[in-house]
Amino acid sequence: MRLPPRTLYRLFPFVARASRWSERRLTPSGRVVLGLLVAAALFGIDMRQTLAWQVATLGGGLLLASLLASLRWRAPISVRRVMPRYACEGQPFTYFVEITNHGTRTERDLVLAEQLHQPDLSWHDFRARRGRARHLNVVDGAIGFPRWVELRMRDRGAVVTPLPVPALAAGASVRVAVAATPLRRGWIDFEGVELLRPDPLGICRARLRVAVPDRVLALPRRHAVPALHLAARRHYQRGGVSLALAVGDSQEFAALRDYRHGDPRRHIHWRSFAKTGKLIVKEYQDEYFDRHALIIDTHVDPADETLFEAVIRVAASLAGGPRPRDSILDLIFAGREVVELSAGRGLADTGRALAWLAEARAAGAGDVDPVTDLIGARAGGLASALVVLGGLDASREALLDSLATHGVRAAALIVSHDETAQPPHLGGGQQRFTVRVAHLESDLAALAVLP
């Protein structure tokens, strides 16, 4: 996509600010009056040809009077937000805004507009993230403004349309349900709300800003994945009895021993306590349960947002997809440093696992050798591994070989921009699937054979 000249780029914030101003500070009638003013001024330049300049002065006078009437507005109004814990990328969610009027007069015709945190978009970032907005036509692509707007909206994180607020009697509260749609995964930061009040002519709106900081975490978008028949191979786990009781099983009772700090109270042998007067606990044989690994390769170029988001979506679909309840899923993020997080019954739930994925960031180009080393140390306890990769090279081949060498049944899902790749694709004596970025949903649904 061609980039606009930098001078044009410098105009974008001004255009966006003007557009936002007209959207918030003008009513629909106000926008018509502004349009009238601009069009009449253009056609009225030659004052001998048309009387449009008189229409322009009329529009200008009304707009000016309305602006003067809505310069300042103060009202004792407080706002509270009730947010859900999580939202999901692309899925509308509802939250509530409670507005209380502490004043002595009824407030009518108010409009509620959310203020979301807007990170800056530098020229460098704008250039680097050129992969977005491919649907734009040639003119929009060349000018670049629609792409800039789309990137800024995405950075903001959500679309929240201004809403009318019901009449707010003196001393009363109203609860307004607000619908928002997250545009990306990750934290969406709300800074405050703007309450807008129309002027007597209904052209401009006065603004009252109330700071109400809040945030919601948008989980990554998931796609349906068929039930994965993960290899059920129980191994001894160092997690100990507490994990085995939660997600696996334990063998028979082995012996009694003295209580040690940290032993669960439920294992106290009360009869022995009654006899001896000191705490005795039951000891069991070794603990066994299933443990699966989901290895996510975050070594993707941050500029290639589409690919990285696809990797995360594939991982989220697998993490949130159906799997045996009595198993543990280790999420291993292969980035600049390896992060391992475990989810399963008694540990973090699926929501928590998705939250980790929601916060994942692209680490840039790099190899996955640290993960290969980790697998070498941990392979004894793993039943299977799902590896989500953004590409395939020697380092990643080594990781897959290492899994095979250690007897861990593994399947690699290679996310690719390549439209011609044939999904699913089996090769190299190991299960490898190509997931095409443009066909994530269908390719994931086609996954049939997994370890």
Binding footprint of other proteins on the chain (CB under 8 A): 27-29, 32-33, 35-36, 39-40, 43-44, 47, 49-55, 57-66, 68-69, 94, 96, 100, 106-109, 111, 135-137, 140, 161-166, 169-179, 197-203
Question: With respect to other proteins, which residue has the nearer C-beta, 137 or 420?
Answer: 137
Terminal alpha carbon distance of the chain: 41
Question: With respect to other proteins, which residue has the nearer C-beta, 31 or 257?
Answer: 31
Residues 6+ away with beta carbon under 8 Å from 296: 311, 312, 315, 331, 332, 333, 334, 357, 360, 388
Question: With respect to other proteins, which residue has the nearer C-beta, 159 or 404?
Answer: 159
For 210-368, where are the alpha helices, taking DSSP H only?
241-247, 270-276, 305-320, 350-358
Alpha-carbon torsion angle 150, 153, 159, 164, nearest 10: -100
Question: With respect to other proteins, which residue has the nearer C-beta, 33 or 247?
Answer: 33
> Considering the complex, what minimum distance in angstroms separates the CB of residue 290 from other proteins?
43
Residues 6+ away with beta carbon under 8 Å from 204: 25, 26, 27, 30, 63, 66, 67, 69, 70, 198
Question: With respect to other proteins, which residue has the nearer C-beta, 29 or 242?
Answer: 29
Helix (H) and strand (E) counts in the chain:
13, 19
> Considering the complex, what minimum distance in angstroms separates the CB of residue 84 from other proteins?
14
> Considering the complex, what minimum distance in angstroms separates the CB of residue 145 from other proteins?
13
* Helix pair angle (6-25, 145-156), 10° resolution: 60
Question: With respect to other proteins, which residue has the nearer C-beta, 67 or 347?
Answer: 67
> Considering the complex, what minimum distance in angstroms separates the CB of residue 114 from other proteins?
12
> Considering the complex, what minimum distance in angstroms separates the CB of residue 42 from other proteins?
9
> Considering the complex, what minimum distance in angstroms separates the CB of residue 71 from other proteins?
12
Backbone angles phi, psi at 306, to 5 degrees: -60, -45
Residues 6+ away with beta carbon under 8 Å from 100: 77, 78, 79, 80, 172, 173
